[in-house]
Amino acid sequence: MKLRTTKYIFKEGLINAYRNKLMSLASVSVVTASMIVLGLFLIISINLKYNIQKLEQQPQMQVYCDPELDDQQIRTIEQTIKSDARVKKYTYVSKKEAFEKMKEMLGEDQDVLEGLGDDFMPVSFIIELNNLKEAKDVVESFKLIEGVSSVRYSQERIDILIKIATWVQVGNIVLTIILLAVAMFIISNTIKLTVFARRKEINIMKYIGATDWFIRWPFIVEGVVIGLMGAAIGFLAVSIIYALFSSKISEGINIISLVSLRELQFVVIYTFALVGIGIGSLGSAVSIRKYLHV
C-alpha cells in the first residue's frame, strides 16, 4: 500500500512537472508572438515619423514648368512667382540640375538615361511661403499660371503619412491589447498550475510562519522570467526580419528612407523589456490573487 502511494505521488509529480513545462513553453510562445507584432508595428510607426520629419525639412512647394518653354516664358513665370507677396523665397532649378538630381536618385539604375540629354527635364522653382495656412490657395493660383505643368506640395504627402501613422498606431494598440491579454491569460494559467502543484509545500511554509509576500515572490519572478524570455526571442525575430527586408525596401523604393537597425535597437529593447516584465508580473499577480489562498 505504501509503495503504491509513493508511486502515485511520483507519477503525479512527473505529470505536473511536464504540464508546467508545456504551459511555460506556451506562455513564452504567445509572449514572443505578441512582441513580434508589437515590434513590427513599432518599427513601422518610427519609420513613418522619421519620413514625416524629413518631409517637413524639405521645401514646402515646387512649381514645375512645361519642358518645351523657352527662356522668355520661364522668366515670365519666375517674375509671377517673385512678385507674389505670399512667397518668402524661391530657388531656380535648371534643366541640368534636375537631370543630375534624377541620375542621383536612380543610383545604379542611371544607365537608363544613357544617351539622353537634359532637354526633357522641366525647369522648376522651389518655393517657401510666409504662411503655411495660405499653401492651398497658393497651389491653386500657381496651377493657373500659363506654362506651369504641375505644383507639388509636400504638406499633402505629410498629411497622408500622418493619417497612415495614426491608423498604424490605432491598429498597433488594438492588436497589442488583444495579444497581451492572451499572453497574460496563459501566463496566469501557467502560474496557477505551478501553485496547484506546490500546494502542499505552500501549506507547510504557511504553517511554519512564512509571510504571504515571501510565498508570492517566486511565482511573480517566474512570470517575469517568462515575459523576458518571450521579449528576448521576439526582439531577435524582429531584428532579423527588419535586417532582411529593410535593405530590399531601400533599394526598391528610393522615396522612402528607413531608420537603421542600430538606431531602433534601444527603443525596441527598452519597450520589449518593460512590456515583458509588465505582463509577466501582472499575469502572475492576477493568478496568485485569484488562486493562491495564503
199: cell is 500546494
Angstrom distance (rounded) from CA 99 to CA 113: 9
Predicted local confidence at residue 290, as pLDDT: 56
**273 band by pLDDT with thresholds 50, 70 and 90:** confident
Which tens digits make up the pLDDT trace of 121-139?
A: 888 998 888 876 777 888 8
Predicted local confidence at residue 78, as pLDDT: 92
pLDDT at 80 over 90: yes
pLDDT at 33 over 90: no
CA 279 → CA 187, 258, 269, distances in Å? 8, 30, 15
Which tens digits make up the pLDDT trace of 177-194?
A: 777 777 777 777 766 766
Predicted local confidence at residue 8, as pLDDT: 43
Predicted local confidence at residue 20, as pLDDT: 59
Per mean pLDDT, which range of 43-52, 88-97, 207-216 is the poorest? 207-216
- Percent of the chain beyond pLDDT 90? 6
Rg of the chain taking only CA atoms, in angstroms: 31
pLDDT at 3 over 60: no
In contact, 187 and 31? CB cutoff 8 Å:
yes
Choose the most confident range, by mean pLDDT, from 52-56, 91-95, 201-205, 257-261: 91-95
Residue written as grid cell 541620375: 103
Predicted local confidence at residue 30, as pLDDT: 76
**55 band by pLDDT with thresholds 50, 70 and 90:** low
pLDDT at 142 over 60: yes
pLDDT at 95 over 60: yes
Choose the most confident range, by mean pLDDT, from 2-11, 29-38, 80-89: 80-89
In contact, 36 and 152? CB cutoff 8 Å:
no
Predicted local confidence at residue 285, as pLDDT: 74
Predicted local confidence at residue 7, as pLDDT: 47
Arithmetic mean of pLDDT, 11-19: 53
Q: What's the mean per-residue pLDDT of the chain? A: 75
Choose the most confident range, by mean pLDDT, from 182-186, 234-238, 279-283, 287-291: 234-238
Phi first, then psi, for residue 66 (nearest 5°) are -65, 135
Angstrom distance (rounded) from CA 153 to CA 63: 9
Predicted local confidence at residue 291, as pLDDT: 53
pLDDT at 11 over 70: no
**77 band by pLDDT with thresholds 50, 70 and 90:** very high
